[in-house]
């Protein structure tokens, strides 16, 4: 891979080299197609980790550690010289991915801005000052003479933010630092806010966010008018798939919890099924039938649990028997079950659906698949959670996350309420929910081991 860097001269001095690019323009580059995708996926792991941390209400110091750990873990490269290239390439690939709708742009803008803020704060003061200069902001440090006229007030500000009283202050229009004004962390006089050097991050982040917001709109125009059609056979399928990518295990091969007996399914469903599968299983028992979407979602989940093909055929045949005679079942339904196990058609070994895929589905009338946290009414969701044994306060917490469209976090809170155990990794897959549940319930220290 060869990356040709921009010829723009940097104002960062030699002894204060920054590892934080401003992503003002994509440099001309050649990148292998597999790196194009892999770099983007690695950065997406960082952004989704940040999103999860913010959704879970992590404190600033916890977020600082989280962002540092996520970046260190995912943005490495075997060749140290390529780390910066991976950073730049991954950003511009995801800019293509997330420029395509207003909702995608909003999420990407928020996560990239949060990432930039934490990386800026991690730089040393000299680099921060140099990066500030990169934005060409029309602000100058407060002169010594002016400082003397407001010295007492600025000293109070410095002490309140834990700074020494001899720090450099900048004077800027107060409307350009709304978060500092709201937090009462600046001195305001005649429409200007006096901000300490340590608070410059607010100005820099505002400028970064503004530039990226405009760039995403422009990228969308290029994508719609030119790139999507030109790259329809090569890049477009990758770009369109990345925003809904599931980044964890595919659960195509069952884990150690593979000893699934048909006689145990009822008890396991009650104790270890996530709400989406709990609902499907209940409807199957109630109606003795599920439409295609429901059969696929539940059937592949059971396969991922470790249900063997012969047992799967027996299970579905028995469940359908009150409404579907054996001959009709063998003719109309058995083929699709064998197909899911890779025994028919193209012999594809299908994988269980991830949360992302389930959330993005669109159930129709009479369908029972999909994500209850997204597709249920609040009243129905409240009732379903209560039936699972979720307490009143936990139900309210779950509903709060649902109202903010944090569906996977709502499922995580449900898991924690049902099992009385934290799930710091979050729930990203129904089979992960099941596996984690079995680990807890089968622990020697768990008295409720079913």
pLDDT in tens, 361-417: 999 999 999 999 999 999 999 999 999 999 999 999 999 999 988 999 999 999 999
Q: Binding site: which residues? A: 276, 355, 371, 411
- Residue 313 inside a domain? The answer is yes
**pTM assigned to the model:** 0.69
- Residue 1 inside a domain? The answer is no
Tell me the CB-side half-sphere exposure of residue 258, using CA atoms within 13 A.
Answer: 9
**Helix crossing, 407-419 with 430-441: angle to 10°?**
10
- Residue 99 inside a domain? The answer is yes
- Residue 113 inside a domain? The answer is yes
Task: Quote the number of domains for the chain.
Answer: 3
Please tell me whether residues 387 and 291 are part of one structural domain: yes
Please tell me whether residues 99 and 194 are part of one structural domain: no
- Residue 330 inside a domain? The answer is yes
Rounded distance, CA 369 to CA 20, Å?
44
The bridge status of strand 169-173 relative to strand 187-189 is unpaired
- Four-point Cα dihedral 330, 331, 332, 335, nearest 10: 70
Please tell me whether residues 143 and 54 are part of one structural domain: no
Rounded distance, CA 333 to CA 212, Å?
51
Q: Binding site for [4Fe-4S] cluster: which residues? A: 276, 355, 371, 411
pLDDT at 233 (0 to 100): 85
Taking CA atoms, 358 is separated from 118, 275, 373, in Å, by 32, 12, 11
pLDDT band at 11 (very low <50, low <70, confident <90, very high): very low
Query: Could you give the 3-state DSSP secondary structure of residue 3?
Result: strand
Please tell me whether residues 427 and 281 are part of one structural domain: yes
pLDDT at 158 (0 to 100): 78
* pLDDT tens for each residue of 13-43: 444 456 788 998 887 778 888 888 899 999 9
Rounded distance, CA 273 to CA 283, Å?
14
Range of the domain at 422: 264-442
pLDDT band at 198 (very low <50, low <70, confident <90, very high): confident
Please tell me whether residues 271 and 419 are part of one structural domain: yes
Using DSSP, how many helices (H) and how many strands (E) does the chain show?
23, 5
Contact 326, 319 (CB under 8 A): no
How is residue 323 annotated by DSSP? T
- Residue 302 inside a domain? The answer is yes
Neighbours of 325 (CB within 10 A): 10
pLDDT at 296 (0 to 100): 96
- Residue 3 inside a domain? The answer is no
Please tell me whether residues 125 and 138 are part of one structural domain: no
pLDDT at 194 (0 to 100): 86
- Residue 8 inside a domain? The answer is no
């Amino acid at each position: 891979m060869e990356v040709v860097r921009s010829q723009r001269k940097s104002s960062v001095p030699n002894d204060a080299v920054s590892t934080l690019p401003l992503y003002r323009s994509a440099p001309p580059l050649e990148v292998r197609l597999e790196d194009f995708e892999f770099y983007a996926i690695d950065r997406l792991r960082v952004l989704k980790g940040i999103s999860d941390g913010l959704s879970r209400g992590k404190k600033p110091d916890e977020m600082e550690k989280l962002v540092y750990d996520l970046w260190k873990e995912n943005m490495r490269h075997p060749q140290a010289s390529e780390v910066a290239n991976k950073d730049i390439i991954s950003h511009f690939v995801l800019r293509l991915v997330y420029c395509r709708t207003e909702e995608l742009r909003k999420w990407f803008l928020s996560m990239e801005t949060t990432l930039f803020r934490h990386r800026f704060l991690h730089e040393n003061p000299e680099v921060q000052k140099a990066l500030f200069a990169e934005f060409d902001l029309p602000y100058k440090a407060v002169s010594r003479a002016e400082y003397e006229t407001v010295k007492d007030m600025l000293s109070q500000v410095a002490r309140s933010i834990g700074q020494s009283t001899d720090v450099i202050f900048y004077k800027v229009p107060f409307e350009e630092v709304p978060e500092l004004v709201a937090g009462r962390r600046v001195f305001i006089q005649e429409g200007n806010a006096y901000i300490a050097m340590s608070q410059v991050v607010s100005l820099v982040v505002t400028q970064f966010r503004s530039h990226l917001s405009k760039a995403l709109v422009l990228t969308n125009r290029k994508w719609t008018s030119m790139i999507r059609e030109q790259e329809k056979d090569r890049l477009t399928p990758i770009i369109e798939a990345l925003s809904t990518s599931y980044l964890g295990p595919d659960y195509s091969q069952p884990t150690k919890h593979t000893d699934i007996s048909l006689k145990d399914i009822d008890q396991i469903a009650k104790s270890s099924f996530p709400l989406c599968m709990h609902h499907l299983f209940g409807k199957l028992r109630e109606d003795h039938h599920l439409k295609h979407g429901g059969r696929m979602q539940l059937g592949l989940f059971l396969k991922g649990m470790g249900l063997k093909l012969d047992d799967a055929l027996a299970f579905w045949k028995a469940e359908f028997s009150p409404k579907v005679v054996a001959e009709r079942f063998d003719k109309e339904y058995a083929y699709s079950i064998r197909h899911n196990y890779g025994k028919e058609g193209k012999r594809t070994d299908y994988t269980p659906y991830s949360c992302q895929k389930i959330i993005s589905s669109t159930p129709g009338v009479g369908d029972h698949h999909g994500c209850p946290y997204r597709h249920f009414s609040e009243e129905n969701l409240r009732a379903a959670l209560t039936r699972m044994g979720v307490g009143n306060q936990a139900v309210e917490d779950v509903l709060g996350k649902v109202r903010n469209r944090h569906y996977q976090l709502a499922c995580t809170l449900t898991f924690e309420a049902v099992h009385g155990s934290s799930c710091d990794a979050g729930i990203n897959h129904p089979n992960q929910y099941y596996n984690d549940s079995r680990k807890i319930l089968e622990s020697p220290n768990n008295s409720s081991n079913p």
